[in-house]
Amino acid sequence: MGKSLVIVESPAKAKTINKFLGKNYTVMASVGHVKDLPKSKLGVDIDNGFEPYYEVIKGKAAIIKELKKAGKSADHIFLAPDPDREGEAIAWHIAEEIDKDRQKTRRVLFNEITEKAVNEAIKHPIDLDRNKFEAQQARRILDRLVGYQVSPVLWDKVRRGLSAGRVQSVAVRLICDREREVQAFVPVEYWSIEAELKGAASKNGFIAKLAKKEDKKVEIKNGDEAGAIVKDIEGAEFKVSGIEAKEIKRNPAAPFTTSKLQQEASRKLGYTAKKTMMLAQQLYEGIELGKEGPIGLITYMRTDSTRIAAEAVEEARNYIQARYGADYLPAKPIIYKTKKKAQDAHEAIRPTYLKYPPEAVKEHLSSDQARLYALIWNRFVACQMSQAVIDQTRILINVKQYLFTASGQVVKFPGFMAIYVEGKDAAAEEDEEGKLPPIAKGESLRLLALLPEQHFTEPPPRFTEASLVKELEENGIGRPSTYAAIISTIIDREYVVKEKTQLKPTELGFLVTDLLVQSFPEILNVEFTAHMEDELDKIEDGGAKWRDIMNEFYGPFKDRLSKAQKDMKNIKTEETPTDIACEKCGKQMVIKWGRNGKFLACSGYPDCKNTKDFKTDEAGNVVALERAAPEITDEKCPKCGSSMLIKSGRFGRFLACSKYPECKTTSPLTTGVPCPENCGGKIVEKRSRWGKVFFSCSNYPKCKYAANEMPQTPASDTRGQEAENE
């Protein structure tokens, strides 16, 4: 065999693969996509069958040149980006640039970066998959049509810089709809009554809950009703009328799909979906394990299949037998059914080798990598273990016409629970049940205390990242590979804020969602978005033509777009009158919408430019907020020597000379924290043109350090993207 060139998308992946192949192979990385639609224009010829105009991504010309050079001297070119739609698009565009006629280019696919998988793929190359590429291209064009044509409408009607997205806007709508349910929720009072009881043979008491009255479920609406029941019960005999004991068996959870991994990492580790995918990518592409070099520790992390390769199942069974014993090993391997609409091209997420348990590789991983790897490892091994066996007991206790019940359970045999138990969303948490004391049927129990307690019904829970991913998946919105990007985007666009673990819409999120729902009801419709995902799947399967899907979508969309450009409410010009008089000119103040939300402005603008913040009191009245007096600092003006004041402006807080307007000197507000780049500068607080606070170096533009969060002292390793210059 002659010289061969293998092209992957990641340098880390290239390094891992390189050690599996001989001297006749050169492995190079494209570093992601090499071509894309242009950023400066639509890049889609709508009148010519939605023909896309791709261009080389800025900075990728040199990489393409190197790949071309290597390709010319190679007898064979193997394109090995990730085995999904995005990977297929990368492979397709590389082939167009370095071997347009496909004379020596073939595609190779592997689900895991192991020596066996890589060599098998090289031995059995395939042709590039036009259907898969066109499915990716269709998604890209759909997203471009929506984003680049709806966003300008928002710029015109609300403010410049806003964005709309075919999937992201639906995600924001889900969060807004849930928030409105929370806001509209009216709590209803109810009461519960518990009895602390003790049997004759037991040392400790236990709790029983009031369940029925005269064989009907008890509903106690207020304290008076609860008090009447307590009074009726006091002094009466509590007698055990029945004991129900049964053995239940619990099955292990299936191995991870992408969405399940994101949900579980959020619940158990507190990771964002974006962080989970970043760490999983690192584990997949290869980790340096000392003398062994880079090892891919997990299989491909973008999948919605629960299928496991037969050899991996066998390896897991051998491991369970050796580590836990025969009792923990089922008689036959456990096969998990993949959902009907799932893409089954890839296996579930699992460790590539069981010879690398978490404790053996921990020293080579970061703390975050180690925790995620352990989660994936434990879930996979547990999925092939025996059922857990639990003894569940329920005691029925009669007192007069009332029935109290006490429940308890004991793990008789842990099975898979010895290594892994699936987490739950906060709203789905169940009360832990412990072991009940020995009690006999017919036994009279001693009442230690009657415990009435007031409760109120709870509103539906706000979405967390885990529950939003679950909602998106269940509704068929987006794909496993897109969930992290969707959540990251809606937070970055400030349509949603994350408070602890909860996702809440901002005022801007509500406003934009309401405008889009009114003007583009189909795009913001959950069922319609799920339908479009099905159409993309049909393109990949060869069951539909991508241009037909574009035509089906674009006709109604174009009509809606034209109508929105004319009829969408113009928030920029909308004014709501108030009873508040401007203290500068006496004219009426009005509520307007600005870059940072609603504010009070003088109706005499532009002659009077007075503005104020406001709040709405409990009665719904608009109350103007007085500006805080500027804060005097110890810093002196470098021009006139006067004291500097802390003021607030369009781009956040800043220092200004107290002699203004005679002296107009201003400077950024320093935090006193030294720049992590050790350039001698201090970290200053700034606000971007979109109103978002960030932190940068006082030596800008000489030092371009910028971060979204304040760096710690001593300086942390966290780096933010370079923020946009004001």
138-184+461-567, superfamily in CATH?
Topoisomerase I, domain 2 (1.10.460.10)
Closest CA to 52 of 44, 40, 61: 44
CA dist 417 → 81, 354, 408, 637, 677 (Å) = 37, 19, 18, 67, 48
Please report the pLDDT score of residue 348 as a whole number. Answer: 94
Q: Residue 427: pLDDT above 50?
A: no
Out of 187-196, 276-285, 301-310, 319-328, pick the least confident: 301-310
Q: Residue 290: which region, alpha, beta or left (left: phi > 0; alpha: psi -120 to 50)? A: left
Asked if 441 and 242 touch (Cβ cutoff 8 Å), the reply is: yes
Q: What is the pLDDT of residue 413?
A: 95
Taking the C-alpha atoms of residue 468 and residue 483, their distance in angstroms, rounded to an integer, is: 9
Mean pLDDT computed over 107-128:
93
pLDDT band at 428 (very low <50, low <70, confident <90, very high): very low
* DSSP assigned state of 580: E
pLDDT given at position 679: 84
Mean pLDDT of 688-703: 73
Determine contact, residues 629/615, Cβ cutoff 8 Å.
no
User: Worst-scoring range by mean pLDDT, 10-24, 161-175, 417-431?
Assistant: 417-431
Fold of 4-128: Rossmann fold (3.40.50)
Lowest mean pLDDT among 218-227, 382-391, 552-561, 566-575: 566-575
Percent of the chain with pLDDT over 90: 70
Dist CA 86 CA 98 (whole Å) = 19
Query: Average pLDDT for residues 602-621, to the nearest whole number?
Result: 86
User: Is 53 among the catalytic positions?
Assistant: no
Whole-number Å distance between alpha carbons of 710 and 261: 30
| 262 vs 271: CA distance, rounded Å | 8
Segment 264-284, tens digit of pLDDT: 999 999 999 999 999 999 999
Bond from prior residue into 11 cis (ω within 30 degrees of 0): no
Give the pLDDT of residue 331: 95
Lowest average pLDDT, out of 98-112, 130-144, 360-374, 390-404, goes to 98-112
| pLDDT at position 652 | 63
Predicted model pTM: 0.80
Catalytic residue among 25, 271, 284, 300: 300
The CATH code that applies to domain 258-382 is 1.10.290.10
Angstrom distance (rounded) from CA 626 to CA 611: 10
Give me the mean pLDDT over the 705-718 stretch: 57
Report d(CA 429, CA 423) in Å as an integer: 9
Q: Which residue has the tokens 């203290």?
A: 583
Summary mean pLDDT of the chain? 89
Backbone φ and ψ for 429, nearest 5 degrees, come out as -65, 140
pLDDT tens digits, one per residue of 507-552: 999 999 999 999 999 889 999 999 999 999 999 999 999 999 999 9
pLDDT score at 719: 27
Residue 98: band (very low, low, confident or very high) from pLDDT cuts 50, 70, 90: very high
Give the confidence band of 682 by pLDDT, cuts at 50, 70, 90: confident
The full set of domain ranges for the chain reads: 4-128, 138-184+461-567, 189-251+388-456, 258-382, 576-625, 653-707
38 vs 201, residue with greater confidence: 38
pLDDT band at 678 (very low <50, low <70, confident <90, very high): confident
Question: Given pLDDT bands bounded at 50, 70 and 90, which one contains residue 92?
Answer: very high
Whether the pLDDT of residue 689 is over 60: the answer is no
Tens of pLDDT, residues 286-319 = 999 988 899 999 999 998 889 999 999 999 999 9
pLDDT, one tens digit per residue, over 560-602 is 999 999 999 999 888 889 999 998 999 999 999 877 678 899 9
pLDDT over 70 percentage in the chain: 93
Specify the pLDDT at position 358.
96
Q: What CATH code would you report for 189-251+388-456?
A: 2.70.20.10
CB atoms within 10 A of CB 343: 18
Split at pLDDT 50, 70, 90, the class of 722 is very low
| Distance, CA of 486 to CA of 664 (rounded, Å) | 44
Chain centre to alpha carbon of residue 174: 14
DSSP-derived 3-state class of residue 472:
helix
